[in-house]
Structures are given as C-alpha cells and as structure tokens.
C-alpha cells in the first residue's frame, strides 16, 4: 500500500452546529432544524465516495446535550431512531461501515438495540462513518487512562490505544459549522495535531460543495507537527 497523500485527509470530523439557529431564522420549530440537519448528513455521506475520505466522524449528541429541554431531547432521540431505520439499507448498499463512539450504551434500550444491529450489518463496510453519541471527550480520555492504568502502563501510546477512536486513522481535519470557534469537548486528544476549520455556514446548509472547499483549504496548509 502506498503512503497516504499528505495533502488529502484520511479522517475528517465535523461539529455539526447551527440547527436551532437555522430554524429560528426561518421562524420554524427547532425540530425542523434538526430534521434538515439530518438531510445534510445524508447528502454528505452519499458524497463520501467522491472525496477519498476513509473516515468521517460526526458529533451528533454530546453528553452535555441532556441538559436541553426534555421535548428537544425527545425529538433528537426520535430522529435518531428514524435515521437508523431509514438509512441502514443505504449504508449497506454504499459500503459504509458504521461506528459509534461515546457512552452510547447509555441511550434508550431500543436505540441501543437498533445501533447494535446496524453495527453488525455494516461491519464489513469499506468507508467508516463514526457517530459520536452521548459523547464527551474528557470522559473518553478518563476512561482510556483508567484502562491503560489497569493494564499496567500509563503512557501517551497506551492511553491512545484505549480511546474510542483507537481503530480509526489519526484525525487530520476538524470542521465546525455556524461560526462558533471552540471544540465543545469533542475529540480533544485526537485534535492535538489536526488542522481546524471554522466556517460560518449553519449545519443544515452545509453541503458536499462546502466539504470539497474544506478539503481544498486543507490541501493548501503545511502541517509541521511541532517542527519547522
């Protein structure tokens, strides 16, 4: 296998932000913003085969999102159920392997069962869609450090080996939509040497064309990893 192209990211992660503001600007319920956000995910996943990206990681539901209004959380959970059910056949047909990171086993039992089935049915896929559910990076690092300590050695390598993303390529590019410039407890360890791109586009409006533009910007950056 040839060495990866340094100008092309193998692993891209996105903080999908702005569903609520998208809906508010249109005087629509927040739930409709989340629904349009799911459509944006669907369109982006369909375009992956044309990008060369091996893994796309999406921040779908953080461990802090439980603080939102109960009605909105219920809407998000129901949307998740619909998405898994409706898009699983498309994942299989398009050779997409689903991976879940975070404490997803803490979700409702029926969602856990649906996710387990989706993971099993897509296990042989070639391109990975990793979805962060009930995820918080500080918790992930703490869990990984505890496992490394239990194994008898706490080093950067041993901690990295126990992260939720240990079997994924190193993170190359992190994108956040909606104009916010922060990581919000997402992939803190993995972002150590990742390139970052913050765009003003609200997530429901983020298209495959926006992703291609992000990839072009990545190609024009010089990654030094602390060197000169």
Q: How many CA atoms lie within 13 A of 2 on its CB side?
A: 3
Largest CA distance in the chain: 56
Judge contact between 195 and 224, C-beta under 8 A: no
What does the alpha-carbon distance between residue 13 and residue 9 come to, in Å, rounded to a whole number?
10
Q: Active-site residues: which are they? A: 17, 65
Q: Burial level of 131, CB count in 10 A (0-12/13-18/19+)? A: buried
What does the alpha-carbon distance between residue 75 and residue 109 come to, in Å, rounded to a whole number?
16
Judge contact between 217 and 197, C-beta under 8 A: yes
């Amino acid at each position: 296998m040839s060495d990866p192209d340094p100008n092309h990211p193998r692993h891209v992660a996105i903080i999908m932000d702005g569903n609520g503001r998208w809906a508010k600007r249109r005087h629509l319920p927040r739930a409709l913003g989340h629904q349009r956000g799911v459509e944006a995910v669907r369109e982006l996943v369909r375009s992956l085969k044309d990008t060369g990206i091996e893994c796309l990681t999406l921040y779908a539901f953080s461990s802090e999102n439980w603080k939102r209004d109960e009605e909105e959380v219920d809407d998000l959970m129901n949307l998740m159920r619909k998405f898994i059910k409706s898009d699983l056949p498309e994942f299989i047909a398009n050779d997409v392997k689903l991976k879940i990171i975070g404490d997803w086993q803490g979700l409702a039992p029926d969602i856990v069962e649906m996710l387990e089935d989706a993971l099993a049915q897509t296990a042989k896929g070639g391109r990975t869609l990793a979805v962060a559910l009930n995820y918080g990076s500080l918790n992930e690092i703490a869990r990984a450090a505890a496992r490394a300590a239990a194994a008898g050695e706490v080093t950067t390598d041993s901690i990295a080996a126990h992260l939720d993303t240990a079997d994924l390529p190193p993170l190359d590019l992190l994108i956040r939509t909606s104009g916010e410039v922060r990581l919000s407890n997402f992939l803190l360890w993995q972002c150590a040497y990742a390139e970052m791109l913050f765009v003003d586009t609200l997530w429901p409006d983020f298209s495959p064309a926006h992703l291609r533009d992000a990839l072009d910007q990545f190609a024009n950056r010089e990654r030094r990893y602390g060197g000169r």
